[in-house]
Structure 1
Amino acid sequence: MTTTKNIAVLYGGTSAEREVSLNSGKAIANGLVQSGYHVELIDTKSVPLSVLADKNIDCVFIALHGRGGEDGCLQGALEYMGLNYTGSGVLGSALCMDKVRTKQVLLAQGLPTAPFKVIQQAQFDMADCEAVLAELGGVAMVKPAKEGSSIGMAKVTNAKALENALVEAFGFDDRVLVEAWIHGPEYTVSILGDTPLPAIHMETPREFYDYEAKYQSNSTLYHCPSGLPEQDEQALQILAKQAFDAVDAQGWGRVDVMRNEQGDWQVLEVNTVPGMTETSLVPKAAQAAGIGFSELVSRIAESAGLNK
């Protein structure tokens, strides 16, 4: 492929997911160079966004995970500057970064998601932990509302554990999602354009698919094909696309889903800028669909501007 397009890959940043973003940005840049693009890597931690105004940039490839890159702030700034960018727009990015808002939209659209409680730091009495846990079935997952990569998350099985997990989660966010524990396997479906890619089934010996299982462990298994019967695979892909559309996600992304003991799907969240190293989940799914890494990042880059 020969092209004269100039692409700025924004990566790094200052969020809790900085290290993951550094790896994603480098991999994306390498893939774009292999496809013939002119690429400039820009670490937004040390380089102000204003430098883009002085560059001949055709589009911006967003490889920033978490706050400041995935939450709509950057997308709004780029739109103000008149620059095309990859992925979801302002609304979809902001919604998906907020796990609470995402679940509220899913419920409003009639899509399946586990029962949950929203805990506000300033309003919550830790003496109520036992009642909250009982309401959610005795076992729950604690999640900061606006963090990714499982940062600040914990499984809890008693009131004291919930109290400790809330204290930890409040270090990342003053609003925390406490979600009923789902007993069952976890899957993810990547979306490229309007097309769901083959599902991936993740298995880990750890309590859940946490940061270590995602980025540090050698014991995590990824099954693609997922091992689901064809009818179930199709149903999962349809649900993932419905969830993706419900929160106004666009361009590309990933929808995380679990299956409970009754065999029902439960949508966890939608990721608008998921990890993008060559061994990340979206590239694994793309490979299963016959799409190599360079082609994948090229297709995402070519879709830039469709989010306006």
Structure 2
Amino acid sequence: MTEEQKEVPAVADLDRVLVLAGGLSPEHEVSLNSGRSVAEALRRLDVEVQVTDVDSGLLDRLAQDPPQVVFPVLHGAAGEDGAIREVLELAGVPYVGARPQACRLAYSKPTAKALLADRGVNVPRGATLPKSLFHDLGAPALLERLADRLGLPLFVKPDRGGSAFGAAPVASSQDLSAALVSCFAYSDSALIEEQVRGTELAVGVLDTGQGPQALPAVEIVPDGGVYDYAARYTAGRTEFFCPARLDGATLEAAAEVALTAHRTLGLRDFSRTDLIVRPDGEVVFLETNVAPGLTDTSTFPMATAAAGTDFAVLCRELAQQAYLRSST
């Protein structure tokens, strides 16, 4: 913690925060770990924190004993698709993070890609197809057309969701069918894209009242070459470099793409954009997350630390900002 951060005074009028963590998505455990990180950080600054899951008692708790602020750290469906935030708005409770419509835009990977492409951002070539179409048109013919049209290698992932669930690289046309079966276990539609080779980056964006600012880019080097669930959340499985080991111009370009995504999708407070930088320096947009992981192995806390920002102070500032929004 820097001397400047040590001098930040306690926020006297922020003393009760409800952290929402868990949920019913496959990212339940990740969300619980993120929730613990946020709760522990706020408690270090003497903020009273309650951590709760989303269940049938949530609305009663919000009505009978409303917190000053809700800090949602729910990943996956409901947590990132805008649904829970709609409920929080109906309950009249201030909360940290993006509003429902912005969440819906970001959570749908094809929608986010299309919006960013319209802004001149490079995106992978690809197609989004529902499971039913493979049955209606015949899977073999459709698989052959995908491989011919997009080329190999490919990357298959659910059109919604995170933590790499249902996502897999495809090196040959024979692997494509199995990758789609895995994908359809997590979503009814698959996003099939060209596999972009290069340096993988995560670029966080933070706005604590002075406008969105890009955090230092985190370079991701998984030991198996694929940043899957195990590589994301198993300590030692992935090497991280922050700031990323790229030249200044490329890092500036990556930061600009992350900021463009944050603004285009209408996000607020914080977000994380995933990118690939090709060997020629071209920055390619993959997706943007409205509820970045906040665990010990997540890239967003790494980036805030590299920026010289204390994570506990940051959590308090975000909660305070949400509280102040409700009183204006």
- Which residue is equivalent to 2:3? none
- Which residue is equivalent to 2:198? 184
Q: Counterparts of 2:215 and 2:24 in 1: how far apart (Å)?
A: 31
Spell out structure 1 runs of 4+ moving beyond 4 A.
305-308
Deviation at 1:289, TM superposition (A): 0.8
Q: Counterparts of 1:4 and 1:299 in 2: how far apart (Å)?
A: 12
Whether 2:220 is the aligned partner of 1:220: answer: no
Note the residue ranges of structure 2 that are not aligned, 5 or more in a row: 1-9
- Which residue is equivalent to 2:291? 273
> Partner of 2:93: helix, strand, or coil?
coil
- Which residue is equivalent to 2:256? 238
Whether 2:70 is the aligned partner of 1:56: answer: no
Contact 1:87–1:251 under 8 Å retained in 2: yes
Deviation at 1:58, TM superposition (A): 1.0
Higher helix proportion, which one?
2
- Which residue is equivalent to 2:180? 166
> Partner of 2:255: helix, strand, or coil?
helix
Paired amino acid for 1:295: V
Paired amino acid for 1:9: V
Deviations 1:82-140 (A, max 9, x none): 11111111111111111111112112222111111111111123111122022112111
Whether 2:307 is the aligned partner of 1:289: answer: yes
Q: Identity, % of aligned pairs?
A: 32
Q: Counterparts of 1:294 and 1:284 in 2: how far apart (Å)?
A: 13
Contact 2:168–2:179 under 8 Å retained in 1: yes
Deviation at 1:217, TM superposition (A): 4.8
- Which residue is equivalent to 1:65? 75
Q: Counterparts of 1:135 and 1:129 in 2: how far apart (Å)?
A: 10
Length-normalised TM-score, structure 2? 0.90
Contact 1:283–1:292 under 8 Å retained in 2: no
Deviation at 1:45, TM superposition (A): 4.5
> Partner of 1:106: helix, strand, or coil?
helix
- Which residue is equivalent to 1:112? 122
Q: Counterparts of 1:189 and 1:54 in 2: how far apart (Å)?
A: 39
Closer/same/farther in 2, CA of residues 126 and 217 from structure 1, 3 Å limit: farther
- Which residue is equivalent to 1:38? 48
How many residues were matched structurally? 308
Whether 2:19 is the aligned partner of 1:9: answer: yes
Q: Counterparts of 2:279 and 2:11 in 1: how far apart (Å)?
A: 51
Deviation at 1:241, TM superposition (A): 0.2
Deviation at 1:223, TM superposition (A): 0.3
Deviation at 1:3, TM superposition (A): 2.9
Whether 2:269 is the aligned partner of 1:251: answer: yes
Q: Counterparts of 1:274 and 1:252 in 2: how far apart (Å)?
A: 8
Note the residue ranges of structure 1 that are not aligned, 5 or more in a row: none
